[in-house]
Amino acid sequence: MPLPLSPAGLMLDALGLPSGDAHDLPDSPPRFADDTHYRVEIPSVEGPRVLAAVIEEARGREVPIHRVSQGSGILLLTDAEIVEMCDMCREGALELSLFVGPRAAWDTGASVLSPAGRTLGAQLRGQDQLRAGLDDVLRAVELGVRSVLVADLGLLRVLCQAKGAQLVPRELVVKVSVQLAAANPAAVAVLADEGATTINVPTDLSLAQLAAIRQHVQVPLDVYVEVPDGLGGFVRHHEIPQLIASVAPLYVKFGLRNAPDIYPSGLHLEAAATLMARERVRRAAIGLELLRRHSAHDTPGPLLQMSPTGVATAAGIPVARS
């Protein structure tokens, strides 16, 4: 029997917010535009050779992939590399999401070195950096990219205002990074209200906490089910079925524990980045096998539908350079 609501709980209820975490894990009614529950994302795809390895590994293991994302940033890719990645993703109808820089952790400021300032790591310091981040996006868009990964609230607002004014393509996917770290329904709603297309939530939120966010926000969530060590190192494959049922629509995101931090990547780390990317695809195969076993043997529940792959009309797929 649930406990009586406190005054704050009653106020949250009156404001249309969940009064607590969703410990009963209700099924999630929202869906992607194609009426499906989930898609698959492979992160840390740091350049054309790493992307080629991901595509090859996915074909060999018959792992469906909908999105690949990159973390070193648009700045650290040449025009030719971006165009090559766009061509490969357009051919495979894959969303290509590139991270936007600069970022405070690689800058000359000292705040990120203090214990209290570490959460600033991927934000933009000052208006010059905001302009530089926007230049990053405009360059990528000109080369055909239609999905960018942002970790700064100001850049999120500017990009979504620019979409409304048709200064950037209206179909541009603005994906919020895990480093922006909105950890409750009201905070995630702020990002959605600012125009985020998909939102990567913090890696340590429980099923009940994620389900409460879903009760209040319709936008797709990006959820790590295996997490790099620098973001917690959690391995949550066993929760995939319940995550999809209670948090849909979501991108099931396969990071990699016990792996070196390769940011910023480049030729000097390409061999390691490539092997790690192949292993992320293998981890995705493991997670999806678990989901299939659950669907075949567990108690009756919602039929969890994955978006088809290779659909050219899906969001975030690069376009040919004009």
Instruction: Give the tens place of pLDDT for each residue, 210-230.
Output: 999 999 999 999 999 999 998
Q: Say if residues 128 and 136 touch (Cβ distance below 8 Å).
A: no
Q: Is the pLDDT of residue 315 over 90?
A: no
- The CATH code of the domain at 27-297 is 3.20.20.70
Residue 314: pLDDT band (50, 70, 90) is confident
**Per-residue model confidence (pLDDT) at position 296:** 76
Q: Is the pLDDT of residue 207 over 70?
A: yes
Question: What average pLDDT does the segment 3-16 reach?
Answer: 90
Question: What average pLDDT does the segment 25-40 reach?
Answer: 95
State pTM to two decimals: 0.92
**Per-residue model confidence (pLDDT) at position 2:** 64
For the chain, how many helices (H) and strands (E)?
9, 8
Give, to the nearest 10 degrees, the angle between helix 48-61 and helix 270-297: 30
**Per-residue model confidence (pLDDT) at position 4:** 77
Tens digit of pLDDT for each residue in 108-127?
776 666 665 555 667 898 99
Q: Is the pLDDT of residue 186 over 60?
A: yes
Q: Is the pLDDT of residue 300 over 60?
A: no
Of 184, 203, 192, 316, nearest to 254 by C-alpha is 203
Tens digit of pLDDT for each residue in 281-298?
999 999 999 999 988 776
Q: Is the pLDDT of residue 302 over 80?
A: no
Q: Cα separations (Å) of 236 from 44, 205, 225, 286?
A: 19, 11, 5, 12
Provide DSSP, 190-215.
HHHHTT-SEEE--TT--HHHHHHHHH
Tens digit of pLDDT for each residue in 228-278?
998 999 999 999 999 999 999 999 999 999 999 999 999 999 999 999 999
Q: Is the pLDDT of residue 299 over 60?
A: no
Question: What average pLDDT does the segment 86-99 reach?
Answer: 96
Q: Report which of residues 164 and 300 the model is more confident about.
A: 164
Q: Say if residues 201 and 178 touch (Cβ distance below 8 Å).
A: yes
Q: Is the pLDDT of residue 322 over 90?
A: no
DSSP 8-class letter at 27 = P
Q: Is the pLDDT of residue 87 over 70?
A: yes
Q: Is the pLDDT of residue 18 over 70?
A: yes
Average pLDDT along the chain:
92
Of 38, 67, 39, nearest to 54 by C-alpha is 67
Question: What average pLDDT does the segment 15-19 reach?
Answer: 94
Burial of residue 127, with CB atoms counted within 10 A of its CB: 0-12 exposed, 13-18 middle, 19 or more buried: exposed
The C-alpha atoms of residue 47 and residue 76 are separated, in whole angstroms, by 10
Proportion of the chain above pLDDT 90, given as a percent? 84
The C-alpha atoms of residue 30 and residue 32 are separated, in whole angstroms, by 7
**Per-residue model confidence (pLDDT) at position 188:** 98
